[in-house]
Amino acid sequence: MQTVDISIHPNKVMENIKTILVEDNNVRLDRYIRRIFPNLKQSTIEKSLRKGLIKVDNCKAKSSDKVNSGQTITIRYLDYIENTNSERKYNEKLVNLLRENILYEDEYILAINKSAGVIVQGGVKVKISISDLLDQIREREIFKIVHRLDRDTSGVIIFARNASVAKYLMEEFKGRRIKKTYLALTFGIPSKDNGTIDYPLVKKYISGQEKVVVDEDSPQNATTHFSIIARLKCTRHN
């Protein structure tokens, strides 16, 4: 059994603190927390660790860190964490969409065809994202995000099933050793069958909407190599 001590921070009445004395050895931190709070979602634990609301021996920790007997897990603002956890929306439509669009999975990765308009990872003013729903697609899974796609971009996104695979894939993406290929249907006929588009693009808010525009002052160029697969006739109906 775990020893749980509940106390109130003297300077912040609403900052209730729970201190947990670890009584086991070589157990992942996130799994130990879920033993005590089985209803806490994995994404809630991860976010609380990143924000420093959950600490081990008064130090920030990662979900994959191992805890041992005698160590202390401190959870600040537990009410806030539990409320955030309980108020998280279960978007059944999006969960089903993700399940239906699983392209491939094995013991190392899960690949999903992301639709345009779907956000990969949460942020400011983001109510729901794929990262919030991954534990609803596959029970008792601890997926890792290794790359992202913009909200308005559709395509394949890969999630790792463990930390070592995530590290390897992130290094591959960073080293540009993983190739991304997109198929697009466009209006208008390009003058060449293949070529390269190389412009300094940045995201800007114009009239309240986020748009991608050319900015000559941008230090980074967005390079796209294209080739025409087929030319289709356009039939107009009046």
Residues with Cβ within 8 Å of 22's Cβ and at least 6 positions away in sequence, in order, are: 2, 32, 67, 68, 69, 70, 71, 72, 73
Separation CA 103–CA 113 (nearest Å): 7
The Cβ-side half-sphere exposure at 176, using a 13 Å CA radius, reads 1
User: 57: phi > 0 → left, psi -120 to 50 → alpha, else beta; which?
Assistant: left
Cα-to-chain-centroid distance, residue 169: 15
The Cβ-side half-sphere exposure at 161, using a 13 Å CA radius, reads 12
Identify the burial level of 77 via C-beta atoms within 10 angstroms of its C-beta, where 0-12 means exposed, 13-18 middle and 19 or more buried: buried
Q: Would the CA dihedral through 88, 89, 90, 93 be positive or negative?
A: negative
Q: Which of 65, 135, 150, 215 is catalytic?
A: 150
Residue 150 annotated among the catalytic residues of the structure = yes
Over its C-alpha atoms, the chain yields an Rg (Å, rounded) of 23
Residues with Cβ within 8 Å of 24's Cβ and at least 6 positions away in sequence, in order, are: 32, 67, 68, 69
In total, the chain counts a number of residues equal to 238
Catalytic residues, by residue number, are 150
